[in-house]
Every structure is written in C-alpha cells, then in structure tokens.
A and B are shown apart, each in its own frame.
Chain A
Amino acid sequence: MPDSWIDFLPTLLKGAEITIVVAFFSAILALVVSFVAGLGRLSKLWIIRTLTAVYVEIFRGTSLLVQLFWLYFALPFIGIELPKMLAAILAIGLNFGAYGSEIVRSAVLAVPKGQWEATVALNMKPWQRLWNVILPQASLRMLPPFGNQLVELIKSTSLVYFITMADLTYQAMVLRNNYISWTTEILVLLLLMYFVIATLVSLAVRLLERKLTAGRL
C-alpha cells in the first residue's frame, strides 16, 4: 500500500513521458500535413484539390479512435504491421492535420487580395509570393486556432490507451486497478497532469504570438 499520493508520481511521470513523445511527434506531423493539405486545397490543379479534399473529408468524417484502430488492428490484415508508437503518431497526426488544413486554407484566403496583387506587380515568382508575403501574414492568423488544436491534440493522446500504449492515462488505470481505494487521488493527479501540460503549451503559443506581432500589425 502506498503511504501517500506522492508514491504514484514516478509511475505517472513515466506515462507522461510517452504522452509527451506521442503528442510532440504527432503535432509536428499534423503541422506539416496541415500546410501541405491546406495549400493543396488552394492549388490551381484540380487533381491536387480533389485529392486533398478527399483526405480532409475522410479524416474529419470519422473518429480518431476508429482511425487509430484501423492503423493498428486492421492494417496488419493487409500485411502492414506498424509499431504502436508509429500507429499512434500517424493516426493523431493525420487526424489533426485534416482539421489543421482548414485553418491554413482559411488563413491564406483571409490575406487581402491586394497583397497577392502587389507580389505580382513586383514580379515575384509564385513560390516567392507565398513564402515571403502571404504565409508570413497568414501564419499570424493561424497561431490562435493552432494553439487550440494543439491542446486538443494533447488531450486526445489519451486514446492511445486503447491500443495499450503505456501513456499517462494507461498508467493511471493500472494504478487504479491495483489501488482501488485511491481512485480519487489517482484521477485528480491524472487530471492535474494533463491540465499542467496543456496550460504550459497554450502559454507558450500565446508568448510566441505576442513576440511575432510585436510592433507590426
């Protein structure tokens, strides 16, 4: 029997490490996919527009848990066996990338048309227009919604518990099974740890936002 709730911390922190690793890599994947798919939806080529639209609709139209099950439990039947960690990162990254692509798309569309016209008048090449003028402005608009999505993403990592990854939620459940009478303490700790991670992250995003807008807009 544990002497106090402090004794649960090492186990929970071990789980938190997995949670953070999954969140970190799936956030990076989601960010990359957001830009690729978001810009793809604005492409001049209809085939690229269609492909990215199909991807976005599929991943927004089904639940993350089902996508996770697919990647981990269904793919082996067609010969693709992914490690848990990779399946988790792919599922979360692709799911949030689909939502993120909408953020990128609407932020790019929200940059005034006059900005595009100025880049044409200065004879910039298409990628220079995007990279030097449009994306820097659009990125500022993306930051607050991306910040929200990141917090959602961190919370959603608890679903990897269902493919038996030893994340924060999993460790809490194991502890609870062993020490049923401490259920309340364990769950309060679980809640607090997610809360602390999410709060730190949204604070960081807000600081970044303030830094990038300083003295400009």
Chain B
Amino acid sequence: MLKAIGIDEQAELSKVPGQEGNRIDTGTKPIVKYTGVTKSFGDLQVLKGIDLEMQPGEKVAVIGPSGSGKTTLGRMLMTLEEPTEGTIELDGELLWHTHEKGELVRAGEKHLHRMRSNVGMIFQHFNLFPHMNVLRNVTEAPRKVLGLSKEEAEERAVSMLGKVGLADKLKMYPSNLSGGQKQRVAIARALVMRPKVMVFDEVTSALDPELVGEVLEVIREIAEEGEMAMMLITHEMDFAKEIADRVIFGAEGRIVEQGTPEEIFDNPKSDRLQSFLQRFRSNGI
C-alpha cells in the first residue's frame, strides 16, 4: 500500500518540469542513476553533464537529433564507453568506479564484469555471431557466462526464441535470416541473460521499413511484462509515445526536456523540442 502511494507521488512529481530531482526521495531505489556525467572524445565534448535516473521496470525513451549523444549515453551503461567525468550507479552501486581509501578510482575488469550482469544491450546492427547458428548464438553466453548446462541453456533459449517467433529457425545461420529476424534473435540473446536494465539503441533503424513492425511488436511484448527497465533510444516517435513511461529529449549533449509521453509529444515546452518534433512530423516519419 505504502509503496503504491510512493509510485503515485512519483508520477505526480514527474509532471512538474524541473522537479524530477524530487523523485529520488520517494521510496523506490533507482536502478540506474547518472550523476554529472560528461563524455569527451578528444576535444569534442559529446555529453555535457547528464543527470538521469531510471526506476526499476521503468521504460524511458530517449529522443533527440542525431549526434546529440544518445548512443554514447547508452553505451556508457553497457560499459562500452567510459565517462569522462561523473558517476553512474547501477542498482545502488557505482558502475565505473570503486572506492579505495576514500577515493573514487576507475574500476577494474573484475568489478565491471560483476556489474555488467545487470545490463543488456541491443544494437542497431544486431551484431549476431556469424559463425554460430541461431540456437548457439542464444546459448553461448548462458553457458559460458552464467555457467548453465547445455540442457538448461537450450531450454531457456528455445523458450525465448519461441517468444520472439523464431522457434523454427534454431539451426539457421544469421546470414540466412532477414534483418527483422536477426534483430529478434539479438533480443532473445540479450533477454536470456535476464538483465535488470536493457538498452535498445535504434534497434529498427537498420531495417527495411516492412520489417520494423515485427521487431517493435516483440519489444512491446517485453515491455508489457514489466520487470525489466528499458532505455529506448529511438526515432520511432509513435512507438515511444505508446510504450514509454517517460520521454527524455536530448540535444547537443544535454537533457533539454523530459516528461510523460503526453507532455513531450503533445505539449512540448522548449523551442528546441518543438522544432525537433515539427521537423519529424513534416518529414512524415
């Protein structure tokens, strides 16, 4: 009962722009928390101070013009890119750092390995293993990383592949699959690891238009199951509006505006967001 009230309060608060900081104190512990995160590639600063929280099970859509740093934001959570400044917490623990003698130091591979078990990522270009068939793509990590037996891993994989509609493709190699099928295998491959947070980085933008629907449908089903938090970096505005609990609009390395899908899409406040959405609509995407 208490918890339910907490969540309602949270929803109330998140409707007030600029007060998202208050949400920290409403009882649920965030699963993801970026604090003052910046990222530079050489002289180019692509993220300029990101503060962001995600609650367990929360679906957060990240939108914004290309080059604004969305992918970099997600890659940091997957430990593929190290923050230049700031910290990221995952399930209450620092992701990229450890405390040593009261000082924050860059964590080693051992720490990263332990932390990473909470996160998964789906890539724009699938990144399936071309030398393994579909089943092996999905069982490889459960067996080698989680230490499941062949039987356990296959049971888990087959049921997940069934869920994404590919139960009849187990023995196929990725090169013989359509883009939509490849992406669904990639989703199954990430899901069998049972992460608490999953980053989806423009997972449909490399697909032929007629294949986008089948992948979105799978993501919709995963979202409905609920437990896993999702960071959806996307250009599919209708889809974001439909499944996101919260939408974040970023531009030039900063979070410019965030709120519920209705607030962001129907009632944008900043000029940047208004013109971004306008450009999107006039392009008819």
Interface, chain A (partner B; CB < 8 A): 112, 114-115, 117-118, 120-126, 128, 132-133, 136-137, 140, 215-217
Contact = CB atoms under 8 A, between A and B. Distances in A.
Most buried by A among B117, B125, B128, B130: B130
A137 B140 contact: no
Contacts of B190: 121-122
Contacts of B193: 122-123
Most buried by A among B119, B144, B145, B193: B144
B121 A128 contact: no
Interface string B27-69: 0000000000000000000000000000000000000000000
B173 interface: yes
A124 B131 contact: no
Interface residues of B, number: 27
A114 B183 CA distance: 14
Contact of A115 (B116, B117, B120, B129): B129
A117 B80 contact: yes
Given A117-B80, A117-B127, 13 more contacts: A118-B129, A120-B79, A121-B80, A121-B119, A122-B141, A123-B145, A128-B145, A132-B144, A133-B129, A136-B131, A137-B129, A140-B131, A217-B130
A190 B264 CA distance: 81
Contacts of B173: 215-216
B78 interface: yes
A217 B132 CA distance: 10
B123 interface: yes
A126 B145 contact: no
A123 B125 contact: no
B125 A114 contact: yes
A23 B188 CA distance: 47
A136 B127 CA distance: 15
A140 B117 CA distance: 31
Interface in B110-165: 113, 116-117, 119-121, 123, 125-131, 140-141, 144-145
Helix, strand, loop or mixed for chain B's interface?
Answer: loop
Given A125-B113, A132-B140, A118 B123 contact: yes
19 contacts: A114-B126, A117-B80, A117-B121, A120-B79, A120-B116, A121-B78, A122-B120, A122-B190, A123-B117, A123-B145, A124-B145, A125-B145, A132-B140, A132-B144, A136-B131, A140-B131, A215-B173, A216-B173, A217-B130
A128 B119 CA distance: 18
Nearest to A117: B80
Nearest to A140: B131
B235 interface: no
A118 B141 CA distance: 10
Contacts of A137: 129-131
A6 B126 CA distance: 62
Nearest to A125: B113
